[in-house]
Structure 1
Amino acid sequence: MHIVFGLGNPGKQYQFTRHNIGFLLLDYFQEYYKIPFQPGKGDYYFTRLEIDGEDILLVKPTTYMNLSGVAVRQVLEQYPVPLQDVLVVVDDFQLPFGTLRFRKKGSDGGHNGLKSVIYYLESEEFPRLRFGIGDHFENAAEHVLSPFNQHELKKLEELLPVARQGVLVWVKEGIEQAMNRFNRNFFEAKIN
């Protein structure tokens, strides 16, 4: 089994904010495969799918971003998979919009959701997918909690299917292949 955690903040007011790209990717999976999310035995919603014999659990924590690790630990207590089979999907304001970056492990990079996951897992040794949400802003907190503009939302319609493919490559072929094939900016033009 592989587990994909999409991080975000619960509530309609946060639905299309930059910080919620993890939720948006899992919502895309839900629409693509027509699979409903259901409440889990803890602070999260989840759904399962099987692709080419691979069992994949998709999880959206219902805590706010800075407590995401609570749900991650709850899920891993119920489904004790190796950390290499866990992928955490987060936004990254240090990357230009349109950039995907898979990583094997690493620090939180200033991301409160990752900081919480690292704290509750007591490890940095898990793969993550960082989504670039734009690196031009004056106030980081305002930037991550602001909604994507219309141009960005249109571009996300192109990027989310690519990210889905990247996640499937990670599941089937491993993190190295995902990094080799998907770590780049998929939009050449700058978006303002």
Structure 2
Amino acid sequence: MRAVIGIGNPGRNYIGTRHNVGFYILDSFAHKNKLDFLPTKSDFWKAESVIDTFRFLLIKPTTYVNNSGLVINELIDNFNLTMNDLLVIYDDVNLDIGNIRIRKNGSDGGHNGIKSIIYHLQSDSFPRIRVGVGKQKDDESLANYVLSKFNKDEINLIDQKIPLLEQLMIEFIANGYEKMLDYFSKESNTNSSNLS
């Protein structure tokens, strides 16, 4: 089993915000595959299904972004997962809107949700997909920017990458990180848009 974790804040007020791009991507995948997120006794919403013969979880923590790591060890223990079985999808203000980066380890890059996950795992070695949400203006605070909503043109840029992101999720679920990375590299080499 593998788990894909989207980072975001719970509640209607946060729908469509930059910080919730991880939730947005998981919601799109769930909708396409006719999956429903259900509440659990823990601090996350869960959708569960199978691709081919591979069982997987989609996880949306309800702890708010800054405490995203609180659910990680519980996930690992309850579902007998390793860190390599986790894929975290989250927003990155250092990337242009819709640009994608993949990595298996590294620092939090200033993202408090990733900082929380690293703290609770006591490791920075877990697969992740960073999705660009653009950089704030010089006179705008980062906190206000990540809680601001995408405009129509910006969300269109995100939507253009949804098919690729969904396929990356499928590759990870069925084949693991390295195969997902191979797929991404091939797409990057054949697509003129800035994917990698």
- What's the TM-score once normalised by structure 2's chain length? 0.89
- Say yes or no: does 1:182 pair with 2:184: yes
> Equivalents in 2 of 1:69, 1:128: separation in Å?
14
> Equivalents in 1 of 2:89, 2:180: separation in Å?
13
1:61/1:72 contact within 8 Å kept:
no
What is the CA distance between 1:147 and its match in structure 2? Answer: 0.4
> Equivalents in 2 of 1:40, 1:75: separation in Å?
12
Gaps of 5+ in 2: none
For residues 57-78 of structure 1, what are the alpha-carbon distances to aligned partners after superposition, in whole Å with 9 as ceiling and x for unaligned? 0000001111111122222221
Report which stretch shifted further, 57-66 or 67-76: 67-76
Matched letter for residue 162 of structure 1: L
2:89/2:128 contact within 8 Å kept:
yes
> Equivalents in 1 of 2:49, 2:76: separation in Å?
17
Matched letter for residue 177 of structure 1: K
Report which stretch shifted further, 99-108 or 173-182: 173-182
Report which stretch shifted further, 68-77 or 15-24: 68-77
2:75/2:81 contact within 8 Å kept:
no
What is the CA distance between 1:188 and its match in structure 2? Answer: 7.0
> Equivalents in 1 of 2:46, 2:59: separation in Å?
4
Match of 2:162 among 160, 169, 186: 160
Aligned length: 190
The match for 2:78 is 78
Match of 1:173 among 157, 172, 175: 175
- What's the TM-score once normalised by structure 1's chain length? 0.91
What is the CA distance between 1:136 and its match in structure 2? Answer: 4.9
Gaps of 5+ in 1: none
The percentage of aligned residue pairs carrying the same residue is 40
Matched letter for residue 157 of structure 1: D
> Equivalents in 1 of 2:94, 2:192: separation in Å?
17
Matched letter for residue 57 of structure 1: L
2:94/2:134 contact within 8 Å kept:
yes
1:7/1:20 contact within 8 Å kept:
yes
The match for 1:6 is 6
- Say yes or no: does 1:132 pair with 2:132: yes
